[in-house]
Every structure is written in structure tokens, then in C-alpha cells.
Chains A and B, each alone.
Chain A
Amino acid sequence: MSIAITTQIICFTVLSLVVLIGALGVVLLESIVYSAFLLGGVFMSVAGLYLLLNASFVAAAQVLVYVGAVNVLIIFAIMLVNKKEDLKPINDIKSRRIISTSICLTLLSLLIRVDLTNVWNISIPQNSIGEESTIRIGEHLFSDYLLPFEVASVLLLMAMIGAIVLARRDVMNKDISTGLPVDQELIEKSSEPLLTNKN
């Protein structure tokens, strides 16, 4: 990358601040809709970090797949299940919070210690291939990573079929009592919520 080091540092600082503050907002904000939009911001900033790491193809894939597909999917799910409900209070929520926060902080300190103390074997001519990385990824995908590539296509097919099967609603084509065909646009099978009262 041919950007000056000062510019790189400024970009990195801004992007990582957006990533971390946005991620904190995703997990801490009350409104789930704000969380979803902040998640989109986090994904975009991660794509910016990839650009700083000289990976334009992966940055584009990140924007397309995460912001364009996953985030939109999450927003649609929020739209479909967003119902104001007052959650039942849990009695030991405080101790649970304390334990989980301490576990996370311990893990964070452990990871940061590893990051800082380990001697990384950094190769000296940094960023040597630069913009050729897209070509190199293509070569990898069609030579030594060919099997994972093909398996990924099967995985996507299975995920698509599975999502359709799971999320489909059963629509009845005739009325139960009279046997007459029904207008399918309006009537859905009114199923009792099976498991609501079994707590």
C-alpha cells in the first residue's frame, strides 16, 4: 500500500474506534433496531480494515455479503418478530452479569497478553503482492482449495433449502369443515401456539 504511514494510522484509529464502539452499541443498546443498523456500520468499518490490510477483494465480499445480505436478513427478521413484550424478570440476573463480565474480561486480558508478548514472525517485504491478491485468491480457489470451494456450494444449497423448509408456513388449500377450496391469499392455517404454556 502506498499511503503514507500517518494516514494509515489515522484511518486505522478511526476504523477501529468505530468497530469497537459500534460493537458495544450492538450488545448494549435497548432498541434492537438501532443495534441492527450499528451492526451494519461495524461491518462497513471491518471492510475498511481489510482495505488497510491490502485485501480489496475480501473487503468487497465483506460489504456485499455482510452488509448486503446478512444485515438485511437480520433487519427483516427484526421486522417479522418485533413485538413489544415485557420480559419476565430473572432472579439471579445480577450474579449472572458479574460472572459473564468477569469471564469476558479475563479472556480479553489473556488474549491481549498473548498478542503483546508473543514474538510474531513478520515477513520483511510487507504487502509484496498488493493488488494481485485477487488473482492469487482465484488461483487458490481453483487449485489447492478446490474441494472446500465445491463443498461450500453444497453447503449454501443445503442452507437455502433448510431455511425455506424451516421458515415456510403451511397453507391449507381447502376448508376443513366444508371441504370447499379457500382463497389462499387470505387464510393461513391457524395453528395453536404449541408450546406457549408449557414452562
Chain B
Amino acid sequence: MMNLESIPIQAFLIVSSALFCIGIWGLLNSRNAVRVLMSIELMLNAVNINLMTFSSYIDNNLIQGQVFTIFVITVAAAEAAVGLAILLSLYRNRVTVDMESFNLLKW
């Protein structure tokens, strides 16, 4: 075991990759529409961890990655609000949150 000065960058990157893949799995496999939104939030968090890692390890003087993370958090908040509003109006029209029954735009 070598003597470390700080946590290796690969550790953070692997955590964020795993979080992203868990998010994709949840997005593909959830039947509940609320859970789909939660999976999207997980994926956005994985992207944020990636940006923050690069900003801290590679660009630690001009921390532009942190500014990007702030913008991603803003967009994620807007997305969650609009997504849940769409979900509510969908629920009002279809009385279900099952993703398999939302097939109005199916070709």
C-alpha cells in the first residue's frame, strides 16, 4: 500500500459511474412514474459528483466545475417541479402512475 497524499481521483469517478448506472437501471425498470423522476435525480447527482471531482482535482484554481454544478442544481430543481406537475395532471387524467399505461404517443 503506497502512501497516499489524498484520495485518488479514480475513487470519486468510480462512485459517480456506479451511481449513474444505478440511475439508468432505475429509469429503465421502474413502473412507478415517481420512481422514474427519482432515478433522474440520481443520475443528475452522479453528473454533479463528476463535475465537482474534476473541478477539485484538475481545475482547482478557477473552479469552473463548481459553477457548472450550481447551474445543474438549478436546472434539476426546475425539472423536478415541472416533472411532478406533469405527473399530477397525468394522474388526474389517467388515475394511475403506471409507466406502462402512458402509451398515448406510441406509434
Chain A residues within CB distance 8 Å of chain B: 5, 8-9, 12, 16, 19-20, 23-24, 26-27, 32, 35-36, 39, 42-43, 46, 49-50, 52-55, 57-58, 61-62, 65-66, 69-70, 73-74, 76-78, 80-81, 83, 85, 87-88, 90, 96-97, 100-101, 103-105, 107-108, 111-112, 115-116, 120-123, 125-129, 133, 136-137, 140-141, 145, 148, 152, 155-156, 158-160, 162-164, 166-167, 169, 191, 193-196, 199
Contacts and interface: CB of A to CB of B under 8 A. Distances in A.
Contacts of A194: 93
A159 B82 contact: yes
Contacts of B73: 58, 61-62, 65-66
A136 B56 CA distance: 13
B81 A20 contact: no
Contacts of A76: 84
By secondary structure, the A interface counts as helix
Interface of B: 4-7, 9-15, 17-26, 28-32, 34-35, 37-39, 41-42, 45, 48-49, 52-53, 55-64, 66-67, 69-71, 73-82, 84-89, 91-98, 100-101, 103-104
Contacts, number: 255
